[in-house]
Amino acid sequence: MHEVTTFIKKERAVLVGVTLNGNTWETQDHLQELALLVDTAGAQVVDTVVQEKDRIEPAYFIGKGKAKMLAQVAQEKEADLVVFDDDLSPAQLRNLENMTQTKILDRSGLILDIFAHRAQTKEAKTQVELAQLNYLLPRLTRQWTHLSRQVGGIGTRGPGETQLETDRRLIRQRISSLTKTLEKIKNQRTVRRQGRVGSYKAALVGYTNAGKSTLLNALTQSDVFVEDRLFATLDPTIRRLSIANFKDLLLIDTVGFIRKLPHNLVASFMSTLEEATVADFLLHVVDVTHPHLAEHMSVVDQVLKELKIDKKPRLFVFNKIDKLEQKALTRRLEENYQPCVFVSAMRGLFLQELKQQIRKLAVESIVEIELGLPIDSAWLVAKLHEFTEVMETDYTDGRATIRIRTSQKGLARLHRLLEKELPGEFNLAKVA
């Protein structure tokens, strides 16, 4: 028998961007990233349309004349879809589809489609479906007649066409069910996290495709999936890192951030991102070769603020140093971002320096204390296991003496607990 090879025809996409502030290079940069997103989704970019405007048009986002030109371009290029670099309102989507007779997708819809394709675990699939349904709900008034002639394709994965035929009431019921499922997953994560109490955790955060998973593999000799595309990693991955004289440190790889990240997606992935919120410090991984690394770092800062973890201790890890042509850039970065280290995760360069910096941050976050309690208050020891590492307990002369190792955050929580339960009846002493 001869093996039959099936070739899947790539969808053809036209990209659309709008320049509002006269900053055309920024629009071009955003469209380059949009092209990478389209490639990640599995389509081929066949043309790009850009318009400079003073304001967004409420009916078509772009001007009506430009929308007619877009329809002509889509027809000439035999495009299957048109992708806008910004979010569109339901009315704009409907008007543009009627005008172009082509499937229209905005940036959020495209990112959600990529996440639907990338999701592997039950948790990731649940989170993506929840985000897609929240995105879909206000758009149910769209005219989907042209999609009846299509089979699958970008923008229809995940819930897919079947959900488009479902009314708002059923979608709201599904959203409620998925929200409850995620709450259960969140509780399960909390239980699993109890087993990591006493370990010190560093979360890898950064713009998508900065090299976080490659760095995790290089530091821990792991085999986490790595691909030179956006959003290769969705689920958090936790690996143990061995550093001299510091045996209990965990590295947590998180989903990459991106500019204009859909709010629904951030909200849905909150349970995943919680792994970063419980970390003792952050490793902010940056692609040092990217021409707009400052903007990428700003996007990460914004997401960290949204997660309320932007004040955590942070080590800047400038990756891909082996590909950097402008060596003088390292001096400027060193002046502006401290502490920092320059590495090449792919080639394994300067990883020892990185490990030393990680160890320094870990040590600075650790506190060993001796806690004295009345012996009839020893029931608090069980509570301490929830957020500290209880190393030793001794009951002598009517007192319980407990040796504890915890983070600065755990110490603050311990103070609050003791002041509430045993005001004036405890004593704390830091162990040298």
| Tokens standing for residue 84 | 């806008």
Same domain for 359 and 253? yes
Confidence of residue 392 (pLDDT cuts 50, 70, 90): confident
**155 inside domain:** yes
Phi-psi category of residue 211: left, alpha or beta, with phi > 0 → left and psi -120 to 50 → alpha: left
Burial of 407 (0-12, 13-18, 19+ CB in 10 A): buried
Higher per-residue pLDDT: 189 or 301? 301
Domain boundary among 346, 364, 382: 364
pLDDT(216) > 50: yes
Does residue 2 lie in a domain region?
A: no
pLDDT average, residue stretch 369-391: 80
pLDDT digits (tens, 9 = 90+) for 2-22: 554 455 678 999 999 999 877
What is the CATH classification number for the domain harbouring 21? 3.40.50.11060
Q: Are residues 337 and 234 in the same domain?
A: yes
Average pLDDT estimate for 103-123: 86
By percentage, how much of the chain surpasses pLDDT 90? 34
Structure tokens at 290: 């990217």
Same domain, 228 and 127: no
Domain of residue 420, CATH code: 3.30.70.240
The residues that bridge with 206 in the sheet, in sequence order, are 285
CA quadruple 39, 40, 43, 49: dihedral positive or negative? negative
Strand 246-253, strand 281-287: pairing: unpaired
- According to DSSP, the β-strands at 281-287 and 237-243 are unpaired
Q: Do 221 and 353 belong together in one domain?
A: yes
The verdict on residue 1 lying in a domain is no
We report the CATH number of the domain holding residue 280 as: 3.40.50.300
Read out DSSP for 68-80?
HHHHHHHHHTT-S
Each residue of 50-75: pLDDT tens digit? 999 989 999 999 999 999 999 999 99
Q: Does residue 125 share a domain with residue 71?
A: no
Residue 125 has pLDDT above 90, yes or no: no
Q: What is the pLDDT of residue 142?
A: 44
- Say if 360 falls within a structural domain: yes
| Domain range enclosing 177 | 119-185
| Same-domain status, 180 and 202 | no
User: Is residue 265 located within the same domain as residue 294?
Assistant: yes
Kindly state whether residues 202 and 79 are assigned to the same domain. no
Assess if residue 327 is contained within a domain: yes
Pairwise CA distance, residues 19 & 400, whole Å: 68
Q: For residues 44 and 358, what is the distance between their CA atoms, to the nearest angstrom? A: 41
pLDDT over 70 percentage in the chain: 82
| Mode of pairing for the β-strands spanning 427-430 and 366-374 | antiparallel
At 145 the pLDDT is 41
Please say which residue of 348, 364, 380 terminates a domain: 364
200 shares its domain with 305? yes
* 343 found inside a domain: yes
Distance separating the N- and C-terminal Cα atoms of the chain: 75
Tally of structural domains, the chain:
4
Confidence (pLDDT) at 78? 94
Same domain, 256 and 157: no
Residues 85 and 126 in one domain: no
- Compute the distance between CA of residue 168 and CA of residue 401 in angstroms, rounded to an integer: 59
Strand 314-319 and strand 389-396: pairing?
Answer: unpaired
Write the pLDDT tens digit of every residue in 157-213: 655 545 455 567 888 898 999 989 988 887 877 666 665 555 678 899 999 889 998
Assess whether pLDDT exceeds 80 at residue 229.
Answer: no
- pTM equals 0.76
Neighbours of 381 (CB within 10 A): 16
Using CA atoms, how far apart are residues 221 and 225, in angstroms rounded to an integer? 12
Residue with tokens 């821990």: 220
Rg of the chain's alpha carbons, rounded to an integer? 26
Choose the final residue of a domain: 113, 145, 166.
113
**6 occurs within a structural domain:** no
Backbone angles phi, psi at 364, to 5 degrees: -65, -25
Is 359 in the same domain as 405? no
For residue 376, tell me if it sits in a domain: yes
Cβ distance 230 to 40 under 8 Å? yes
